[in-house]
A and B are shown apart, each in its own frame.
Chain A
Amino acid sequence: MEFLNLAPLVLALPFAMFLIIGLFGYKMCPKFAGILGTSVFALTSIVCYGIAIQYFVANYGMEYPKEVIFNFDWLHITENLVISIGFLLDPISATMLIVISTVSLMVHIYSLGYMHGEEGFQRYYAVLSLFSFAMLGLVVATNIFQMYIFWELVGVSSFLLISFYFKKPSAVRAAKKAFIVTRFADMFFLIGILILSYYTQTFDFGILTEVIDGQVPIVHDTMGGITLGGLSVISIAVFLIFLGGAGKSAMFPFHIWLPDAMEGPTPASALIHAATMVVAGVYLVARLFPIYSFEAPRVLEVIAYIGAFTSIFSAIIACAQTDIKRVLAFSTISQIAYMMVALGVSGFGGEEGLGYTASMWHLFTHAMFKALLFMGAGAIIHAVHSNEMDAMGNLRKKLPITHATFLIACLAIAGIPPFSGFFSKDEIIVAAFEANKWVFAVEYIVAGLTAFYMFRLYFRIFWFGEPDNGFEHEPHEAPSTMTIPLIVLAAITVITGICWAFGILQFSQLVSSDSLGYAIETHWSIALLSIMAGLIGICVAYILYFKKTGRPNTVVSYIKRPYIWAYNRFYIDEIYLFVTNNIIFKRICEPIAWFDRHIIDGFMNLLAWFTNSASEGTKEVQDGNVQSYAWVYIMGVIVITLLSILNYL
């Protein structure tokens, strides 16, 4: 069976589900709407898997081609400016198809249990379908403008899902914040696209990323040598595009929206704010990687530094948070920054491009285990009805399946072999080691911190000791619709790791910067170092949080100031508020508003007042008396007659 022919279904099915459930969902019984959405998405997933597997099998061992399955002109604006919608298949989009369809399907199933009985259940499934449609459309985009369109669509569906509990003011605020921050970053993305396409006269990825003799001809020939304010136009354009990606991927300083986005339903957080949408920025950079690598290497270096800073910054914050979803949110920021770092330190081609492979591989593994962690957190929240660690403790007996899967995910993210996270993280650290020692040092510390805060979370939830006030009611394991996705994702985390460990399938054979497969040798010296970092992190967490003792408080009292800073997220939100309220609003907006209210409106009011009083003065002419009209009329006729007679004389 040729799955490639079914490619249009990948976009059509979720979109049709969005329309059907969105328009007629309120007439369906909620359970039916949920099962309908889930089963149709299961079909979509099968098609996605089929396409990806056939693609990899057909081209294994050769150079992976960029296959355009279909591409039609959607908007024909001028001869040069054509916006098309299509389906591009290459190693990274095929990988993303697998990631998105797996996580989204798991979230669909999980939500059947988690969202059971919620008001607006059908709306939730409609938006979930919209998101899946938009995300799939984003990764298979054949041109940068299609990507931008779907980019905004995922932003909208993220907004809709964060504000799902729209009766809660905090959820509404979080949704607005997420939308405004990402939109602000997307403005730079759009400017970048416009600059790039203004010079190259094309949006098409196939043309934009074609590499010949160590350069990207289309970009090099049209934009090379042109500078603006001392910077090359290429660098400006690709840096602006990166800023758009930084907004979606929550890089510093655009990270502020992601922790607040946890106000949404937990499965939606797992899908959007952990596994798929937030890695869109990484995917964007990977998509345009040849341009970054050959034409703007300095920008790539900046990306590595931004990524390194973001990863350590958010890892430190994650150590001090008490809301479990926020810990996971900061961990997500940190891990995405890891992927950015990997791209930033990567070269092009073969072993040089290790960072690129590692980045995509980490994207894959992270999506699985982070979605698993979020869903596990969802099961815990479901059981104890709170997000706060203080309401948890000693849950391992009460939630055995959640406990086992959560532990697997924690081991994976902490980088303990043979779980998948170890291999992907290790390759990133190796790539950083070979490119830049400073970045390597930072990432190494972050690896330790990651292990610490994840196991702090793990021990705090599952061991530690029961909460002081006891549980609100006896916690119990989640229903099977919720535990099955956990088991599936845990299995994927284990199996992908083992596949790599035993050399059954190396990810580098599938995804590489130059589309040629290559074999990676595990660098055991560095691998041992990173395992050590992970183990130290786990040990520290064990000492502090395994049993209920005063140790955490003692440690906190030694580092009171930094702890408070980290707990308050280094006051970045406050800085943003200060800048917007006291500088932008007070110093810029208020004078402009005054000018608008008094000068512009005043001028208009003057005109209106003038017209009004003029007509007040003259309206008496129309007094309703027929005879005075006749008098004016006849006098007019006489005057006109006399005038025309005078004219003749």
Chain B
Amino acid sequence: MSLPLECYLVVSTLLFFIGVFGFIVRKNLISILMSIELILNAASINFIAFNRFLFPDQLEGFMYSLFIIVVAAAETAVAISIIINVYRKKKNIDVKSINELKY
């Protein structure tokens, strides 16, 4: 026996909002990056669950989750390098300290 679709969706929704919450409230750039990873994973779970339950004989959902993992890896690399540069300039990685781009 297997769990119904709703269980997967509940998990992914929880994961998504945990990610959003983290993105909005954490001050540390690394934590924000991790929150983004959570959001991406929530999307991946959705893809896989829908693929598994709605179109079991097709593979698009799996393919998309693979893409997401690849993009996430690349994006993390870029983000980390940005964070390192921020650290070199500001000697900290607090998101509040990089707010020069405004009116």
Contacts and interface: CB of A to CB of B under 8 A. Distances in A.
Scoring A622, A623, A626 by chain B CB atoms within 10 A of each residue's CB, the highest score goes to A626
Interface of A: 619-620, 622-627, 630-631, 634
A622 B95 contact: no
Contact of B95 (A619, A620, A627, A631): A627
B24 A630 contact: yes
Given A623-B102, A626-B99, A627-B24, 20 more contacts: A619-B103, A622-B102, A623-B103, A624-B98, A624-B100, A624-B101, A624-B102, A625-B95, A625-B96, A625-B99, A626-B95, A626-B98, A627-B23, A627-B25, A627-B95, A630-B20, A630-B23, A630-B24, A634-B20, A634-B24
A631 B24 contact: yes
Contacts of A634: 20, 24
Nearest to A626: B95
B31 to A, nearest CB: 12
Contacts of A620: 103
A627 B99 CA distance: 10
Contacts of A626: 95, 98-99
Contacts of A619: 103
Contacts of B101: 624
Interface size class of B (residues with CB under 8 A): 10 to 19
A626 B102 CA distance: 10
A634 B101 CA distance: 21
A412 B101 CA distance: 87
19 contacts: A622-B102, A622-B103, A623-B99, A623-B102, A623-B103, A624-B98, A624-B99, A624-B101, A625-B95, A625-B96, A626-B95, A626-B98, A626-B99, A627-B24, A630-B23, A630-B24, A631-B24, A634-B20, A634-B24
Interface of B: 20, 23-25, 95-96, 98-103
A23 B87 CA distance: 63
Contacts of B98: 624, 626
Nearest to B17: A634
Contacts of B24: 627, 630-631, 634
B56 to A, nearest CB: 28
Interchain residue pairs A-B with the least CB separation, the first 8: A624-B102, A624-B99, A619-B103, A625-B99, A622-B103, A624-B101, A622-B102, A627-B24
A631 B25 CA distance: 10
B64 to A, nearest CB: 21
Contacts of B25: 627
Contacts of A624: 98-102
Contacts of B102: 622-624
A623 B99 CA distance: 7
A622 B96 CA distance: 14
A611 to B, nearest CB: 15
A622 to B, nearest CB: 5
Nearest to B20: A634
A45 B87 CA distance: 86
A303 to B, nearest CB: 72
Contacts of B103: 619-620, 622-623
B44 to A, nearest CB: 19
Contacts of B20: 630, 634
A627 to B, nearest CB: 5
A627 B95 CA distance: 8
A626 B23 CA distance: 9
Nearest to B102: A624
Contacts of B100: 624
A631 B23 CA distance: 9
B39 to A, nearest CB: 11
Nearest to A619: B103
B87 to A, nearest CB: 16
A623 B98 CA distance: 11
Nearest to B21: A634
Nearest to A615: B103
Nearest to A620: B103
Contacts of B96: 625
Contacts of A625: 95-96, 99
B95 to A, nearest CB: 6
Nearest to B103: A619
Contacts of A622: 102-103
B45 to A, nearest CB: 19
A627 B98 CA distance: 11
A96 B87 CA distance: 89
Nearest to A618: B103
A623 B23 CA distance: 17
A619 B96 CA distance: 18
A65 B100 CA distance: 85
A107 B30 CA distance: 90
A631 B32 CA distance: 13
A188 B52 CA distance: 90
A639 to B, nearest CB: 15
B15 to A, nearest CB: 15
A508 B24 CA distance: 104
Nearest to B23: A630
Nearest to A625: B99
Contacts of B99: 623-626
Nearest to B25: A627
B20 to A, nearest CB: 6
B12 to A, nearest CB: 16
A469 B65 CA distance: 111
A61 B1 CA distance: 128
